[in-house]
Amino acid sequence: MEIPAADLIEEHGLTLGFVFDPRYQRLLAAFGVRPSTSVVHATTDGFHARFGPWCVTTPLRNIRDAAVAGPFSPLKALGPRLSLVDRGLTFGSSTLLGVCVTFHEPVRGIDPLGLVKHPSLTVTAAEPQVLCRALRSVARSR
């Protein structure tokens, strides 16, 4: 039996690792980004994405929407990436699919001082459809 999308987070919590493309795993590891240091959590306490030494944390009420995106170009998707166009942040470990999470209020992420705030975060988490469905359900219920 499939758990309703809203219940995935509200009652059960959701924890997903990242999908790592083996071709780029060694390069990412040089920056501290490994499967063991990369995870997405969505619980009643909030949304948290860790990608090696980088992390984004925000309350669930700050999530505006989520959408599945990809595939991506390696130059635009791998590693922690800051978009110079819109300040969006990417935590990318694969060029396949990811989830773009947009926020009501921009969040800290790329720099430790929080000088740059991000209106969105794209993560290449496992099961992007599940993550997207759960986050969209929470965003629409608030």
Peptide bond into 22 cis (omega under 30): no
Is 17's pLDDT higher than 80? yes
Compute the distance between CA of residue 127 and CA of residue 116 in angstroms, rounded to an integer: 29
Is 1's pLDDT higher than 80? no
Q: What is the full DSSP assignment across 27-67? A: HHHTTT--GGGEEEEEETTEEEEEETTEEEEE-GGGEEEEE
Domain 5-141: assigned CATH number: 2.30.29
pLDDT for 131-142, tens place per residue? 999 999 989 886
pLDDT for 46-98, tens place per residue? 999 999 999 999 999 999 999 999 999 998 889 999 999 999 999 999 999 99
